[in-house]
Amino acid sequence: MRVVSAAGSRAVRAPKSRRELRRRLLNGLGVVALLFLVSWVLFFSRGTPAGPAITEPGKFFVTLLDGLTVAGLFFVVASGFTLIFGLMRTVNMAHGSLFLMAAYIGIKLQQTMVDKTRNIEPADVSMAAWLVPLFAGALIAAVIGIVIQQVLLRWNEGQELRQALITLAVSVILADQMLAWFGGLATRMIWPGAVSHFFEIFGRRFATSRLFMLGVAVVVGVALWLWLERTRIGMIIRAGVDDRDMVRALGINILAVFAITFFVGAFLAGLGGVMGASFAGAAPGADGQWLLNSLVVVIVGGLGSLKGAVAGSLFFGLVVAFSPAYLPERFTFYSIILTFVLLAIVLAVRPYGLFGRPA
């Protein structure tokens, strides 16, 4: 801080410190970059797979909806990850494995329910034959999650690195066992017939099933928010995120709260798994990919914050949808780099994510 003399009254309005100057510079750069991106998508993106939004509104809206639906799925999976971390400081490296486990179980159960193992048509699938596997898969993932927590994580609370490596070992074992039990071929859940059609938006077709998935994600998000904001247990969890020891000192059985939180976090991974299996199928390697997706969401949004999970999912989902559509055709393959650019920008400005704070 510079001491401002009475004579130099003009200096009062000048930036007071380097930090202030840096903040203004970054804000300015951010505005310029945003304007560039918006005008690029609206007017100048000729020669890209999608084309300028002004002349091709259909492709723009389809891309936007794609981004939002993917963001919805990202949110369901990553909110479980961030919930567990927020309260227990456990980075659950087996989160992707729980996702894939629920996906496989959902697929198997659906095949049993429609009594067919291949060539299942959406017409064969009633709403129940999708919802029952959804909850069954999620429930089994949640049970596996709580077993992991009770057996392997309960007694070494606070040792972040050790817990991360323990869940890492669990994920290696689960991935190998799933390969043995469910095979190496990609399989998928079938959407219920009721939502398996298309509707038109500015002359472009869009799958209703994706909107249905977005709807499920919004319902999950709202339920989670109500649970955390309006119930007693949610209140305890929020208090525990801020100060675990104080909650414990108030006579609350925090170990039970930990168990419940891990159960819910793994349940969310499972819900996401069955939804993801309907959206993109399930195959070995999906566990690592969904661990990555959760990591990107929480690194962008900030660990342990539900708001951060929403923001991170939206940013990541939109980047994933827009970058292949609006990069010049020769560079479409490079769209993965834009995910990295998003990470880099957020980290450079806020090392602990948009809504995060140092642990």
Partner 1 sequence: MSTSSSRLALVAVTIALVVLPLVSSGFVISFLMTRILILAIAAASIVFLFRYGGMISLAQFLLFGLAGFMVGNAVGEAGSKGLKLGWDAWVGVIFALGICVIVALVLGALASRTSGIYFLMLTLTYAIIGYYFFGQVTTLSGFGGITGIRPPPLFQGHPWRLYYVALGLSLAVYLGFKSIARSPFGLALQGTRDDPVRMESLGFNVPLHRTLAFVIAGFVAACAGILNIWWNGQIDPTSISIGPTLNLLIIAVIGGISYFEGAWLGAAVFVTANIYLRNIPLLDQIGVTEARFNTVIGFLVLLIMVLSPEGIMGIIDRFRYRKQGVEPPVPPVAKVGVG
Residues at the site binding partner 1, with contacts judged by CB under 8 A: 89, 91, 152, 158-166, 168-173, 175-177, 180, 285, 288-289, 291-292, 295-296, 298-299, 303, 333-337, 339-340, 343-344, 347-348, 351-352, 359
Least Cβ distance, residue 168 to partner 1 (angstroms) = 6
Nearer to partner 1 by C-beta: 103 or 109?
103
Nearer to partner 1 by C-beta: 140 or 295?
295
Least Cβ distance, residue 358 to partner 1 (angstroms) = 9
Least Cβ distance, residue 205 to partner 1 (angstroms) = 26
Cα 336 to Cα 212, 316, 324, 340: the distances in Å are 27, 11, 9, 7
Nearer to partner 1 by C-beta: 36 or 340?
340
The radius of gyration of the chain from alpha carbons, rounded to an integer in Å, stands at 23
Least Cβ distance, residue 230 to partner 1 (angstroms) = 30
Nearer to partner 1 by C-beta: 21 or 344?
344
Nearer to partner 1 by C-beta: 136 or 244?
244
Nearer to partner 1 by C-beta: 94 or 138?
94
Cα 300 to Cα 175, 297, 319: the distances in Å are 27, 5, 12
Nearer to partner 1 by C-beta: 8 or 183?
183
Least Cβ distance, residue 82 to partner 1 (angstroms) = 12
Distance CA 115, CA 120 (A): 9
Least Cβ distance, residue 253 to partner 1 (angstroms) = 22
Nearer to partner 1 by C-beta: 35 or 336?
336
Least Cβ distance, residue 337 to partner 1 (angstroms) = 7
Nearer to partner 1 by C-beta: 43 or 334?
334
Least Cβ distance, residue 93 to partner 1 (angstroms) = 8
Distance CA 271, CA 305 (A): 19
Least Cβ distance, residue 344 to partner 1 (angstroms) = 6
